Amino acid sequence: MTEPLLRIRGVRKEYGSRLVLRSIDLDVAEHQVVCLIGGSGSGKSTLLRCVDLLETVDDGTIHLGTGELTDPRLDANLARRRIGIVFQAYNLFPHLSVLDNITLAPRRVHGVSRKQAEQSARELLDRFGLADKAQEHPDRLSGGQQQRAAIARALATEPELLLFDEITSALDPELVGEVLDVVTDLKQRGLTILMATHEMGFARHVADQVCFLEDGVIVEQGTAEQVLTDPRQPATRRFLSRVLDHA
C-alpha cells in the first residue's frame, strides 16, 4: 500500500481547558475525497484548521507527503503553500476583482508572472463557468459564483491538498448544486480533498471515505456507503437520523 498523502496521528487540541480534538487518526490517500461529518462543535473546523496550520496542535503529528507539518521548526507560511483552503463564506478580497483575487497568491507568493497567472486564472474561471466575471468585484457575484471563484483561487497555486470547510452551508439551497458540481469535477481530475460537509447526499456520491466526529473523537470512519447507509455506531445512527429528518 502506498503512503497516504495526508497522515494525521494522535492529534489533540485544547482551547483553554476544553478538549476539542482527542487523539485523531486519519489518512487521506492521494486522489481521494474524505468527508468529515458531525454535529456543530464536534471539531471538524478545528481539525481542518490544524491541517492548514492556522492552529497548533497540542499533541500528535500531521504529515503531508514526506514532510511533517507539525514539526515546530517548520516555516508555516511555506508549508501552507502546499495546501488550498476554502471556508464557508467571505473567502474573496472584496476590494479586488475576481481575476486579481485569483492571481494574487501565484504572483506575490509563488513568483509567477502576471501574464502567466492571468492566463491560468482565466482557464480556471472558464472551467467554472465564470469567464465573464473576471473583472467583477465579488459583491457583484451570487453566493454560488463567489464560492466557485474561491475554489478557483485555492486551485491557482496548484496545491497538493484541498481543505473545504462547509463551503455550501452559507448558500441558498438552489446554489448548492453548482458548487458541489465543481467539487465533483475536482475529484474526477484527481485532486485530493478533505472536507467538512453537511451534504450527506453529496458525501454518499463523491466521498471515498466518510468520518463521523462527535466531541472531538472520530467515532466511525469507513467508505461513504458503509458509514452513511449502514452505520455501525449508535452515535452515527443518531446523528444521521437527526440530519436526514431535517433534510
Site for ligand ATP in 209-238 (CB under 6 A): none
Name the residue nearer to ligand ATP (CB basis): 47 or 162. Answer: 47
Direct distance between the N- and C-terminal alpha carbons of the chain, in angstroms, rounded to an integer: 38
Nearest approach in angstroms of CB 143 to Mg ion is: 18
**Quick one: which segment of 36-44, 76-84, 225-233, 238-246 binds ligand ATP (CB under 6 A)?**
36-44
Nearest distance in Å: CB 30, ligand ATP? 25
Dihedral (Cα; 86, 88, 94, 98), 10-degree rounding: 50
Q: Is 98 within 8 Å of 149 (Cβ atoms)?
A: yes
Interface positions, 87-116, toward ligand ATP (CB under 6 A): none
Joined together, the cell numbers standing for residue 233 give 455506531
β-sheet with 33-38: strand ranges across: 83-86, 161-165, 193-196, 33-38, 209-214, 217-223
Q: Which three cell numbers stand for residue 116?
A: 502567466
Q: Are the beta carbons of 148 and 129 closer than 8 angstroms?
A: yes
| Of 15-23, 38-46, 75-83, 206-214: span binding Mg ion (CB under 5 A) | 38-46
| CB 171, CB 144: distance < 8 Å | yes
**Contacts with ligand ATP in 157-196 (CB under 6 A)?**
166
Q: Tell me which stretch binds ligand ATP (CB under 6 A): 44-52, 72-80, 133-141, 172-180.
A: 44-52
- State the amino acid at position 11 in one-letter form: V
Q: Taking contact as CB under 6 A, which single stretch among the options 43-51, 103-111, 136-144, 186-194 is the one that binds ligand ATP?
A: 43-51
For ligand ATP, which residue of 6, 11, 20, 191 counts as binding (CB under 6 A)? Answer: 20
Q: Does 42 bind ligand ATP (CB under 6 A)?
A: yes
Residue span 122-161 as binding mask against ligand ATP, x where in contact by CB under 6 A, dash where not: ----------------------------------------
- Contacts for 31 with CB less than 8 Å, ≥ 6 apart: 187, 190, 191, 192
Burial class (CB in 10 A: 0-12, 13-18, 19+), 54: middle
Beta bridge partner(s), residue 214: 217
Q: How many CA atoms lie within 13 A of 172 on its CB side?
A: 7
Query: What minimum distance in Å lies between the beta carbon of 245 and ligand ATP?
Result: 17
Among 5, 6, 32, 45, binds Mg ion (CB under 5 A): 45
How is the chain split among helix, strand and coil, in percent rounded to 5? 40, 25, 35
**Residue 38 or 138: which CB sits closer to ligand ATP?**
38
Q: Is 15 in the site for ligand ATP (CB under 6 A)?
A: yes
Tell whether residue 46 is a contact of ligand ATP (CB under 6 A). yes
Q: Which residues bind ligand ATP (CB under 6 A)?
A: 15, 20, 38, 40-46, 166
Q: Which residues bind Mg ion (CB under 5 A)?
A: 44-45
